[in-house]
Amino acid sequence: MPFNRLAAVPVLLLWLVSVLAARFPLLGAASPQPSSKCQRKCGSVDIPYPFGIVHSPDDDEGDDDGHCAMNGFGLTCNETGTNGGRHRPFAAGNVEVVGVSLQQGQARMLNDISDYCYNTTTREMVRDEWSLDFAGTPYMFSDTTNKFTVIGCQTLAYINGDDGDYGDGGDKYMSGCVAMCRGDDVRTTLSNGSCSGIGCCQTAIPKGLQYYYVEFDSGFNTTEIHNVSRCSYAVLMDSSNFTFSTTYATSPAFINNNGGQAPFVMDWAIGNETCDVARKKPVSYACVSNNSECFNSLNGPGYICNCSKGFHGNPYLQDPEHGCKDIDECKLPHLYRCTNGGVCRNRLGGYDCPCKFRLKGHAKGGTCIDHFPLAAKVAVCTIGGILLMVIISFLVILHKEKKKTEEFFKKNGGPTLEKAIVIKLFKKDELKPILKKSNFIGKGCFGEVYKGILDNKLVAVKKPINGSVLESDQFANEVIIQSQVIHKNIVRLIGCCLEVDAPMLVYEFISQGSLHDILHNSNNKVALNLDARLSIAAHSADGLAYMHSKTNTRILHGDVKTANILLDDNFIPKISDFGISRLIACDKEHTASIIGDRNYMDPVYLQEGLLTEKSDVYSFGVVILELISRERAMHSDNNKLVKNFLEAHKKQKKATQFFDKEIAITNDLEILENLASIAVECLSLDVDQRPTMMEVAERLLILSRSCKL
């Protein structure tokens, strides 16, 4: 009767490991890891760590490639059969391993079947009884999977063993099983599938069993029934997939079908300590992979490691590639359920399976159902239809608005101004925030004026009355003219907006408002001495003279009046609102319709419709008259101010009675009379007798300087 015992792990090796762990704790912060060069397959069997292929059962360190197996888990890979047979892994020297499960902590092996047969030649019973010894190894016979199985018609077999050396020293173990059947009526007493004592018997084994041997009772033999059942069989085997056949008791089918061997299952465990104790020893603790957990062995001392729920891999390896990795459950729908109507979403350590939009229920193991009643669906469809119509209508309106904007841009001379690149072209959305009632600051013949901020600068936006501006290229030319006027006494044009029916102009903002308001607004009347009035007149004349003296073109204002003379914080005047001016070639006269303020209008222009530089001179004469008298020029009362002033000056050669009492100081009367004389010349009905704006500007500059002396 052969015995196959594994040698114990060499004491020297254990001593060496403990010394190294104590000497180099930083290098041994976890269980030693195998080399990547280790053999991980023998024939068709995978050999996962802590198992490994070694040279011999006593050499768990493997070959020169490095550590390949934990102590006690070394397997040999042997070639079996002749003429190039296949390789197979073996434990304990000669026990073939057919599979390893890390998760269950089990190894499936093949065990020799013991037999007790009648020899027809010698007419004696011959026994072939086997044993297995795994004492001192990490293996224990699985008490949940294996059963001691006896087959025969007149058989009593015993299983003898030691149920472990841990605890109080261990107890001897012995059990048996009887298989009987009537020899003269085998065919009627035996039945397939049943293993309850008739032809087949099975009995359980205790926990912690590492060694057993089989023994047949000689009092039960097949001598008398050898012609029906010649042999009896006994083996410790995996009973989970075993099904009894009547031929097993009446023929060699049982031993022949399995090649003389039967599969059995060994539970295995790491060490002989519980998880709580092992965790406190990081040098030897085997559950080294992230997302791994420790479980105490259910069949003796020690523990096994498993990946945490939602992870798979080898919990005994630190390598992230081969250790515990997240399971993508969504790629394994046959294993991880996500019913129709569910949307699988992988996450670390698990997965979610929410129902799709409009569905409710439990997609994991359940069903997603439509929770919208018919009435709700009708309502949603109705609202959706209305919303769709609103969106379509909005898009149509948006398209029309865009088309309308493009038409306005073209009508207002946009293409011409884009080519000229003289000023900035603003979008209507940029000016829209400014065109509020709270920003309104005035209204004139051109339209409404609003104050606002653009590009961090104060600006005045002029919104014209529809139809008050010229169209297309004519307007574009006027804008180009204004953009070319750069003078300290002329309001600068910053840009315009052409995306509206009546284009808007953007000017620099002048803080003190118009000269007209300062002179005539009784609620906000500002004191102006003669020096200030002369300065306003001189600088205003200088701005108009600049416009008249352009080299290639003459720019006519056409609407000179106190309302179009703006004053800044220092009361420096700036001419504004010459948008009705016309482009006049140097060698031609330009005829235009009568446009402007009749209170300041040249009578010659009013009668003949011919606008010239002298028309601006006449209007400026009225401005001078308002400056020295602080009275309004009113066309409605037949130009009473202008006519009375001219008559008084013609008769008396002076018009002292028209001087504003605020500046009619004796010492300044001579300057005032000179100023009045300039006004008289500007107001001459004989156009040729009127001075040019350049001459007016020079004379006013001289008067202004003399006033300061």
d(CA 596, CA 580): 8
Q: Angle between the 693-708 and 530-548 helix axes, to the nearest 10 degrees?
A: 150
Q: Find out whether 529 and 663 touch, Cβ atoms under 8 Å.
A: yes
**Would you state the structure tokens that stand for residue 477, as one six-digit string?**
């030319």
Is the separation of the CB atoms in 481 and 553 below 8 Å? yes
Instruction: Tell whether omega for the bond before 50 is within 30 degrees of 0, i.e. cis.
Output: yes
| Per-residue b or e along 460-492, where b marks 16 or more CB atoms closer than 10 Å to that residue's CB | bbbbbeeeebbeeeebbbbbbbbbebebebbbb
Amino acid symbol at 561: K
579 — phi, psi (to 5°)? -70, -15
The DSSP secondary-structure symbol of 199 reads S
Taking the CB of residue 339, how many other CB atoms lie within 10 A of it? 16
Q: By three-state DSSP, how is residue 167 classified?
A: coil
Q: What is the CA radius of gyration of the chain?
A: 58
568 is catalytic: no
Q: How far is CA 158 from the centre of its chain?
A: 71
Binding-site residues sit at 463
Output DSSP code: residue 610.
B
Structural contact between residues 426 and 505, judged by C-beta atoms closer than 8 angstroms = no
Q: Can you read off the two tokens belonging to residue 348?
A: 């670390």
Picking from 65, 62, 60, the residue whose alpha carbon sits closest to that of residue 36 is: 65
Residue 587 C-beta-side C-alpha neighbours within 13 Å: 0
Report the alpha-carbon distance of residue 195 to residue 239 in Å, rounded: 11
- Distance CA(473)–CA(463), nearest Å, equals 19
How far apart CA 429 and CA 49 sit, in angstroms, is 72
Answer for the pair 139, 212: CB distance below 8 angstroms, yes or no: no
Q: Which residues contact 615 (CB under 8 A, 6 or more apart)?
A: 556, 558, 601, 602, 604, 605
Question: What residues contact residue 181 under an 8 Å CB cut-off, 6+ apart?
Answer: 153, 154, 189, 190, 198, 199, 229, 249
CA pseudo-torsion sign 574, 579, 585, 589: negative
Burial of 2: CB neighbours in 10 Å, binned 0-12, 13-18, 19+: exposed
Pick from 200, 122, 194: nearest CA to 155: 200
Selecting among 115, 238, 559, 597, the annotated active-site residue is 559
Nearest to 111 by CA among 258, 301, 276: 258
Contact 309, 350 (CB under 8 A): yes
DSSP state of 342: B
Q: What's the gap between Cα 400 and its chain centre?
A: 36
Strand partners, 304: 295
> Backbone phi, then psi, for 49, in 5-degree steps?
-65, 140
Closest CA to 659 of 624, 692, 693: 624
For residues 304 and 455, what is the distance between their CA atoms, to the nearest angstrom? 73
Q: What are the residue numbers of the active site? A: 559
